[in-house]
Amino acid sequence: MKWGLRSRFTLVTLAYLAVVTIVVAVHGYVVNERAERLVWESLLRTEVAHFVERRATEPDVQWSDTDTLRLYGPLSDRAIPPELAGLEPGVHDEVFTGAGQYVVFVTDSPQGRAVIALEISGLERSERSLTNTLGLSTLAVVVLLGLVAYVGAGWLVRPLSRIAASVSSFAPDRKGQRLQADQAAPHEAKVITDAFNEYLQRLDRFLERERMFLNMASHELRTPLAVIASSVEVEMDRHGARDDPFLMHLLSTVRDMERLVSMLVVLAKDPARLRGADETVELAELIPSIVADHDFLAKHKELSFALELGGSCKIAAPPLVARAAIGNLVRNAIENSDRGVIRITTSKDAKVIIADPGHGMSDEEMAAVYTRLARSGEAVAAATGIGLELISRLCEHLGWRLGFSSARSKGTTATLDFSSRLIA
């Protein structure tokens, strides 16, 4: 469980109050017991001394018991009860006998040992009642102070809470986001707000420079690629070499590069602009054309395609982006397989499943792929090619989902889920 600043401040305050209450209660109890003992000793000693003095001047005077005070020993001609006979000289508080609770003072006089007992049952009941009252009032004070601490903590951390709420609402694909300065906020909160806004401003400029560079570089690459592609096609037409394996492979590679550049251009755009380029795409028509584009690569590796198209399925997506994403997965399936059948299946809930007969991946390798994908493509290129990294970025922008399942020596299955963009 994670504790916020408000809860921590309140908890610390309550802990402080609890410690102070316990310390005060312990000191109060010790002082009360000590003071009570001194009072009883002074009272009972004085009572015995006064009676001894009177008896010295008036030998015939007799002790007279009261409802609460009794004297035992030679001074009263009354035997000391067995419960009190073994007590040492001094004050003994909370002595229980069959008749009740007493405070007893034992002293040695010239006439012998005297024991005077004061019944305090009623006083003890009153003391317990007062203690309970004080305990309840103390608890009420602690609760009240805890409530005040909670409210006060809310007031103290409110500026930071507002900053945290604003930061948590920021979207990673939106630029120009800033924290709103609260004029009533303390100086420290304003320092944090200004520093964070300055950081966001620098980050926006950095991302814009990256986006512009990526866009410009991609556009610059389009021209030489188009020249290469057109030159290859002219050469194939001039010599009637439409079936020349070398030229066909060269043309296919150039087309792949063109699609890769197109994806880079798409990623250079803002996500809002990217989603604004949506058109209706029929997967049942798009996938056969993608397979036709890659058929040449498959034949050279003793691979074939098996299509299982589950009827008409329309999605809202940029056509070129959808084509490039599925095409990259098909090309990965070809590159990771030597022979057999690559099965491509579509479902009515807009899922494209590409299963290859390749070598597959172990659980550890799959976990590594998912870890890298979760880090927005970090280091994916080193393990699975730049195409997969671009697809993962596109899925993040467009709300698609990309998943893999694999087993060693049993191939890999890639699932591209367009269900969030399904057109009913």
Beta strand 351-355 pairing with 90-97: unpaired
Q: In sequence order, what DSSP letters do the residues of 245-278 get, joined into one string?
A: HHHHHHHHHHHHHHHHHHHHHHHTS-HHHHHTT-
- Summarize the confidence of residues 280-291 as an average pLDDT: 91
Count of alpha carbons within 13 Å of 52, Cβ hemisphere only? 18
**Cα separation, 223 vs 231, whole angstroms:** 12
Cα separation of the two ends of the chain: 43
Given CA atoms 334, 335, 339, 343 in this order, what sign does their dihedral have? negative
Count of alpha carbons within 13 Å of 157, Cβ hemisphere only? 15
User: Minimal CA–CA distance to 335: which of 385, 406, 290?
Assistant: 385
pLDDT at 156: 82
CB 412 within 8 Å of CB 358: yes
Give Cα 268 distance to the centre of its chain. Answer: 33
The answer to whether residue 52 scores a pLDDT higher than 50 is yes
Count of alpha carbons within 13 Å of 225, Cβ hemisphere only? 17
- Output phi, psi for 303, to 5 deg: -115, 150
Q: How confident is the model at residue 392 (pLDDT cuts 50, 70, 90)?
A: confident
- Summarize the confidence of residues 99-119 as an average pLDDT: 86
pLDDT at 305: 93
- Summarize the confidence of residues 94-120 as an average pLDDT: 85
- Summarize the confidence of residues 67-77 as an average pLDDT: 85
CB 294 within 8 Å of CB 323: no
Average pLDDT score, the chain: 81
Could you give the 3-state DSSP secondary structure of residue 181?
coil
pLDDT at 54: 84
Q: Which residues contact 124 (CB under 8 A, 6 or more apart)?
A: 94, 101
pLDDT at 307: 93
Q: How confident is the model at residue 384 (pLDDT cuts 50, 70, 90)?
A: very low
pLDDT at 381: 37
User: Minimal CA–CA distance to 211: which of 270, 134, 131?
Assistant: 270
Q: Where in the chain is the domain with CATH 3.30.565.10?
A: 275-421
> Comparing 309 with 213, which gets the higher pLDDT?
309
pLDDT at 378: 40
Q: Which CATH superfamily groups domain 275-421?
A: Histidine kinase-like ATPase, C-terminal domain (3.30.565.10)
- The highest-confidence range among 260-269, 282-291, 363-372, by mean pLDDT, is 282-291
Residue 398 region, left (φ>0) first, then alpha (ψ -120 to 50), else beta?
alpha
DSSP H or E stretch at residue 162:
helix 121-168
